[in-house]
Chains A and B, each alone.
Chain A
Amino acid sequence: MTIMNRTQPITLLICALGGEGGGVLTEWLVDVARHAGYAAQSTSIPGVAQRTGATTYYVEVFPVPLAELGGRKPVFSLSPVPGALDAIVSSELLETTRQIGNGMSSRERTLVISSSSRTLTTAERMELGDGRADAQRLVDVIKAFSREHHVFDMGTAARESGTIVSAVMLGAVAGSGLFPFPREAYEQVVRGGGDKISKMAEASLRGFAKAFDAVNAPRQQAAMVTGLLATSQDEAPATAALPQAVASLFPPAVHDLLALGHARVLDYQDADYARLYVERLQKVLAAERSADPAAAQGFAITREMARWLALWMAFDDIVRVAELKSRASRARRVRDEVKAGDHDIVKVYDHFKPGAPEFAALLPDSLANRVTAWDRRRATPWALPLKVGSHSVFGMASLRLLASMRWLRRRGQRFAQEQALIERWLDAVARGTQAHWRLGHEIALCGRLIKGYGTTNERGKHNLLHVIDHLAIAPLPDGAPSARADAIAAARTAALADEAGTALDAALVRHGAPPRPVKAVPVRWVRQPRGLATAAQAKSKAH
């Protein structure tokens, strides 16, 4: 803390989310001040923010004990004053930055203590791709606009202490020395009256202590910050065993992703399929070598294709899902995820709803077509909602049975269809690369559009093929490869903007390509409510 100005109140803004105990925290702080003999005031604007929204609390403490004020009462502000705050303590990284963005924090005066943990907003979570705000950027803002800052994971500190974050925030405030109160004063208030300490109070005190030390001991705090930075970096991909024979065919730059991809395809089907993967990737490599002999781009296309090709070739189907869900490793993962005790029994029910297409996928053409035709004739497509207890003998047996149908997959209709589509995409990448390295690269990156299962997967494939046909191959107003590359890049981002594909169509049209064909949807007849007959109808009735 800098030299305390004894003629002005000490000001603290608290940012929290609904249900994080911000109210309790302010009550604690005011009580600590009162017991220590200082004038203090807190205000808040809870409203409906209690329902998971962001809210703030504001505390002012006069730095001179009441006894020394000669009966004078300080006049406290009810709301935080931008640029006139001594400290901001916040339980959520984005909210910290938001308040700084509101002009609250000043480089000259404000100490910012923030949690590094994120509670993602709905807007961030609902994106088709990755809509998360860049945590590093948020931390940079804190660094740039604070006199002093402490950033550590309050969420984890609270969890480890078995308490809620408000106790951790109190510890952080105490540890920062913002207020002229000793540590004991805070702990006394948390402990509360009564001689015996409640379990809750104990947990709160544990959380308090963690944060107190984190903020009080600069070395630890520094470690925590670097810890945060480390975690915000993507961890290096684990390198799977790559057969020498395969490795020798590709430059080292590709090996890490190649190893993962090769292992994935092998695990998905069999050695033949893995061989096919390698052959396909070699085509791409050849094309890239001719386009970029000096490897100035570090074989970026081949690397990306090693990734996306493997993912597409290992397309999700019921066989794959059954395989993944019936593994012992998965059962273990579920046990920790639900935090089951050693003596607890865990029952796991998996939600499946396979439709006709999922089954048709495993049948040869003639049969498959009949099934899908039958399904199309129905008013609503047929699907079988299942709740399979994978902890039960029957459940596990049926999962394993399904998983063992791998051999059927190869003979199934979908397998053939997927291979055909993959070839089309592969071909486009190869041609594109020969025409212009960037063009090939952009088409390769479009592999990101192919995702998962059912309708999502269908949508992705339609989008990808449309992009290839109309932006990579068909004539365009500006057919220059670089222009095509730009167009494809734009279309790819647009495709991830909204489910309906509105943005994608706009992007397509913008670059002179036709929008995607309108898909036929079953129309449900809605009777007209008691509207009066139109003049025309009235006439026709008359005659």
Chain B
Amino acid sequence: MEVSFSKEIEALRLGEGDTFHGEGILAITKGLLQSGVAYVGGYQGAPVSHLLDVMVQAKPYMDELGVHVEACSNEASAAAMLGASIHYPLRGAVTWKSIVGTNVAADALSNLSSPGVRGGVLIVVGEDYGEGASVIQERTHAYALKSSMCLLDPRPDLGVMVNMVEHGFRLSETSNMPCIMELRIRTCHVRGSFECKDNLPPAVSTRALIEEPAGFDYMRLAHPPVTFRHEKLKGEERLPAARRYIAEHQLNELIPGKHEDLGIIVQGGLYNALIRSLQQLGLADAFGATDIPLLVLNVTYPLVPEEVADFCAGKRAVLVVEEGQPEYIEQEIATLLRRRDIQTALHGCDLLPPAGELGVEALAGGLAPFVERYLPGSAQQSSNESAHGWLAGNRERRAAVAAQSGTPLPNRPPSFCIGCPERPVFSALKLAQQDSGPVHIAADIGCHAFGTFEPFSMGHSILGYGMSLASRAGVSPMMQRRVLSIMGDGGFWHNGLLTGVQSALFNGDDAVLMIFKNGYTSATGTQDIISTPDDEVKAHAVDKQQSLVDKNQTIESTLKGLGVQWLRTVHTYDVSKMRSTLNDAFTSSFNGLKVIIAEGECQLERQRRIKPWIASLLKKGERVVRVKYGVDEDVCNGDHACIRLSGCPTLTIKDNPDPLKVDPVAVVIDGCVGCGLCGANAHAATLCPSFYRAEVVQNPKWHERLLHSLRGAVVRVLQPA
């Protein structure tokens, strides 16, 4: 990838006495090094991508420390990597986006948790939940429960988070359980600071190798008969050991308050939101001093029964603040209280919304009735009323704005970047369906999923990353017309090659697969993959503007090797060619798997490469050609068919300069990278003839100037005013 993390890498080198300033996820990264981690792996995905990106770019420093960093092909391979800690005293950390990544990793996680670990294991997951999330809304908590892994949910204060990283490893080592640390989106991106410690080079590392492999020990295998023993160990030894450690080191924080007969038990990650909503109710100050005692669970599994019981005992009521469903923690606490016959009233989902992010407003909405019921005292009344006023005010204001703005505001979902190589394919697909009729489209995860938004609105299902081809296996045999599966190269390597291609070939399925070969896993932050063009190729390219993905043929050779017989590679900006290739695939008499490789390098990466290159050429006064497309405002018919076929952010509309006409005309605004789609569409779809391609030659050569001036003279004679 072309993005540079040099600044962040510097921050990783900080030591005792320094203060780290930056994002949460980078603080965690630093925490790993301070804990003497020996190996790090994972699969990129918001909001934790930076952890791996930074470590991969920091390779020289990692080598200095003896830390091994692996960019894994998917979460399963990352989880399997943790197997190193089963036998050896190695601290290992992996990271991915949850819930989806944890789903992919589940098999390895079960087989890791069963024998248990010797070296500490920390799984840093980005809990992609609530506002800004891009995946199905489920909790990672379930995995911790079913596989007996500790679950850390630190309060979003950089110091606490880093501290919990170090504790996480020790907790894992004392309990032999892997630890998951769940970080919500905003926690990963929170900007704060913490006091650093020196990084700890691991005792066993790439610089201090293991001399001999461990001796044979059946207990370390996830294989019967020992798996039955493992299950008992979880309950008899590991969980108790974990609870002891949590209690001894007070990982969960007890915050006193004057209303001792009440209490709130909160997931660490929600602490800040809770404090702010208590403030709104006048029950806390800006520094977190609260009137109602809190039990902040920086570890949400396992709970420490004594801790919870002691907190609840003697209280009139306790509120459990827990995000997402089902309410595992509340249920466990309920069981715990019942078993110990503690009569404290328990509240949670009865007052708080059972689903969705617990923001300050949602939390306050649940706290208010709790306070009303248990603190009817005059002291609270006023502040509670003001809180009610605030909540009601929000509701009224929303209604009022909706009323005033009349029609609901148009949404603004993310979409293809300016000049994205994937947009033209959807233009072609729209046209091809006009020829061959509409087809069932199995969509996938990746930038190409933006094709599900306007103006294309294409795609019938999304079953997971790289799953599109597999997800049509039941549809295509039942469908008169052929089914199209769309997959990115990221998804292809993550999963699609085996679950999709291999299966389709083995079963001799009649399927059409479109692979977007843009050279990177772009949606996760343009990380490199095995089919990314090599750095040498980029360095030696004479024209750095051109797409370079064709220089890496790994996907093609892999498919051929597997026995794919119908394989076409099309440059994505050639809309007509893509259209006819799609029609061929839909109507061909070949009944096997038909693969179209849509080739075009990610425009984000290209621009990051091109901009500095152009700048350097101009600086040296060398010849540069800049391409921009445009629309003749007096020819444009104001029908915007071109926009319905593109959706490029730079192809927009403006007031019609012709006072006779009323509808706005199309216009290409600054930022156009001259990708060529406008021209290709104008031809492929026979749009109105208003599009032009302008080539601006800066620092032209002398003979160019001469030719141009002669030409210009003649042209001006021909031209009317």
A interface list, Cβ under 8 A from B = 7-9, 17-18, 26-27, 30-31, 34, 41-55, 62, 69, 72-79, 81-84, 94-95, 97-98, 100-103, 105-106, 119-133, 137-138, 140-141, 144-145, 159, 234, 237-238, 257, 260-261, 264, 307, 310-311, 316, 318, 321, 324-331, 334, 337-341, 343-355, 383, 385, 387, 390-393, 396-397, 400, 448, 451-457, 499, 524-531
B187: A residues at CB distance < 8 A: 78
Q: Tell which of B401, B586, B664 touches A141, judged by Cβ atoms closer than 8 Å.
A: B401
B interface list, Cβ under 8 A from A = 21, 46-47, 131-134, 156, 185-187, 189-193, 271-273, 275-276, 279-280, 285-288, 359-361, 390, 393-395, 397-398, 400-402, 404-407, 409-418, 435-437, 447, 450, 453-455, 476-477, 479-482, 510, 523, 583, 586-587, 589, 591, 626, 628, 630, 632, 634-641, 643-644, 647, 649, 651-653, 655, 659-664, 668, 670, 678-679, 682-683, 686, 688-689, 691-698, 700, 704-705, 708, 711-712, 714-716, 718-721
- Contact status of A42 and B454, CB under 8 A, knowing A77-B272, A524-B587: no
The minimal Cβ–Cβ distance linking B591 to chain A, given in whole angstroms, is 5
- Contact status of A344 and B287, CB under 8 A, knowing A524-B435, A524-B583: no
A98: B residues at CB distance < 8 A: 409
The minimal Cβ–Cβ distance linking A452 to chain B, given in whole angstroms, is 2
A9: B residues at CB distance < 8 A: 286
Q: Tell which of B271, B415, B641 touches A456, judged by Cβ atoms closer than 8 Å.
A: B641
A-B contact pairs, 23 of them (CB 8 A): A7-B286, A43-B190, A46-B47, A49-B132, A51-B416, A52-B414, A77-B273, A78-B273, A83-B390, A83-B397, A97-B405, A122-B455, A128-B640, A159-B670, A344-B696, A345-B700, A346-B697, A348-B693, A351-B693, A393-B714, A526-B480, A526-B587, A530-B477
* A76 contacts B692, C-beta separation under 8 Å: no
B670: A residues at CB distance < 8 A: 159, 339
Cα of A455 to Cα of B686 in the assembled complex, Å: 9
* A528 contacts B480, C-beta separation under 8 Å: yes
Minimal Cβ-Cβ distance residue in A for B628: A338
* A119 contacts B287, C-beta separation under 8 Å: no
Cα of A103 to Cα of B361 in the assembled complex, Å: 11
Q: Tell which of B190, B626, B660 touches A261, judged by Cβ atoms closer than 8 Å.
A: B660
B638: A residues at CB distance < 8 A: 451-452
The minimal Cβ–Cβ distance linking A462 to chain B, given in whole angstroms, is 14
* A328 contacts B721, C-beta separation under 8 Å: yes
The minimal Cβ–Cβ distance linking A57 to chain B, given in whole angstroms, is 9
- Contact status of A234 and B409, CB under 8 A, knowing A83-B394, A344-B698, A454-B686: no
Minimal Cβ-Cβ distance residue in A for B418: A52
Q: Tell which of A137, A238, A524 touches B437, judged by Cβ atoms closer than 8 Å.
A: A524
B418: A residues at CB distance < 8 A: 52
- Contact status of A43 and B694, CB under 8 A, knowing A82-B361, A344-B700, A525-B587: no
The minimal Cβ–Cβ distance linking A534 to chain B, given in whole angstroms, is 12
Cα of A390 to Cα of B720 in the assembled complex, Å: 13
Q: Tell which of A34, A41, A145, A456 touches B688, judged by Cβ atoms closer than 8 Å.
A: A456
Minimal Cβ-Cβ distance residue in A for B524: A48
The minimal Cβ–Cβ distance linking B208 to chain A, given in whole angstroms, is 38
The minimal Cβ–Cβ distance linking A401 to chain B, given in whole angstroms, is 10
Cα of A318 to Cα of B191 in the assembled complex, Å: 60
* B276 contacts A396, C-beta separation under 8 Å: no
* B635 contacts A316, C-beta separation under 8 Å: yes
Beyond the given pairs A94-B412, A454-B688, A529-B479, 17 more chain A to chain B contacts, judged by CB atoms under 8 angstroms and listed by A's residue number, are A7-B285, A8-B286, A51-B523, A52-B415, A95-B412, A105-B397, A121-B410, A138-B405, A145-B401, A311-B661, A321-B689, A325-B692, A331-B719, A346-B694, A347-B694, A392-B711, A524-B436
B652: A residues at CB distance < 8 A: 119-120, 125
Q: Lowest 7 A-B CB distances belong to which pairs?
A: A452-B637, A45-B132, A237-B659, A53-B414, A123-B410, A345-B697, A77-B276
The minimal Cβ–Cβ distance linking B680 to chain A, given in whole angstroms, is 9
- Contact status of A352 and B637, CB under 8 A, knowing A337-B630, A345-B696: no
A55: B residues at CB distance < 8 A: 132
Cα of A289 to Cα of B185 in the assembled complex, Å: 68
* B698 contacts A451, C-beta separation under 8 Å: no
Minimal Cβ-Cβ distance residue in A for B399: A103
* A316 contacts B637, C-beta separation under 8 Å: yes
* A137 contacts B405, C-beta separation under 8 Å: yes
* B689 contacts A529, C-beta separation under 8 Å: no
* A43 contacts B721, C-beta separation under 8 Å: no
The minimal Cβ–Cβ distance linking A218 to chain B, given in whole angstroms, is 25
* B410 contacts A124, C-beta separation under 8 Å: yes
Cα of A119 to Cα of B638 in the assembled complex, Å: 18
- Contact status of A53 and B413, CB under 8 A, knowing A78-B273, A261-B660, A392-B711: yes
* B185 contacts A45, C-beta separation under 8 Å: yes
* B402 contacts A101, C-beta separation under 8 Å: yes
* A529 contacts B683, C-beta separation under 8 Å: no
A347: B residues at CB distance < 8 A: 694-695, 697
* A132 contacts B721, C-beta separation under 8 Å: no
* A530 contacts B436, C-beta separation under 8 Å: no
B659: A residues at CB distance < 8 A: 237-238, 260
Cα of A49 to Cα of B453 in the assembled complex, Å: 14
Interface-central residue, B591, B718, B721, by most chain A CB under 10 Å: B718
Interface-central residue, B189, B523, B679, by most chain A CB under 10 Å: B189
The minimal Cβ–Cβ distance linking A63 to chain B, given in whole angstroms, is 10
Cα of A118 to Cα of B396 in the assembled complex, Å: 27
The minimal Cβ–Cβ distance linking B144 to chain A, given in whole angstroms, is 23
Minimal Cβ-Cβ distance residue in A for B456: A122
Cα of A101 to Cα of B692 in the assembled complex, Å: 40
A69: B residues at CB distance < 8 A: 287
A393: B residues at CB distance < 8 A: 711, 714-715, 718
B360: A residues at CB distance < 8 A: 77, 79, 81, 84
Minimal Cβ-Cβ distance residue in A for B698: A344
Minimal Cβ-Cβ distance residue in B for A528: B480
Cα of A141 to Cα of B404 in the assembled complex, Å: 7
Cα of A472 to Cα of B450 in the assembled complex, Å: 44
- Contact status of A234 and B398, CB under 8 A, knowing A311-B661, A353-B686: no
* B637 contacts A387, C-beta separation under 8 Å: no
The minimal Cβ–Cβ distance linking A391 to chain B, given in whole angstroms, is 7
Q: Tell which of B280, B477, B708 touches A531, judged by Cβ atoms closer than 8 Å.
A: B477
Cα of A390 to Cα of B695 in the assembled complex, Å: 12
Q: Tell which of A51, A331, A348, A529 touches B476, judged by Cβ atoms closer than 8 Å.
A: A529
- Contact status of A18 and B414, CB under 8 A, knowing A351-B693, A392-B711: yes
Cα of A329 to Cα of B719 in the assembled complex, Å: 9
Minimal Cβ-Cβ distance residue in B for A445: B662
- Contact status of A79 and B390, CB under 8 A, knowing A43-B191, A453-B688, A531-B477: no
- Contact status of A140 and B273, CB under 8 A, knowing A83-B393, A344-B697, A457-B637: no
* A327 contacts B719, C-beta separation under 8 Å: yes
Cα of A131 to Cα of B689 in the assembled complex, Å: 23
Cα of A137 to Cα of B407 in the assembled complex, Å: 11
* A326 contacts B720, C-beta separation under 8 Å: yes
Cα of A331 to Cα of B692 in the assembled complex, Å: 11
Cα of A313 to Cα of B602 in the assembled complex, Å: 47
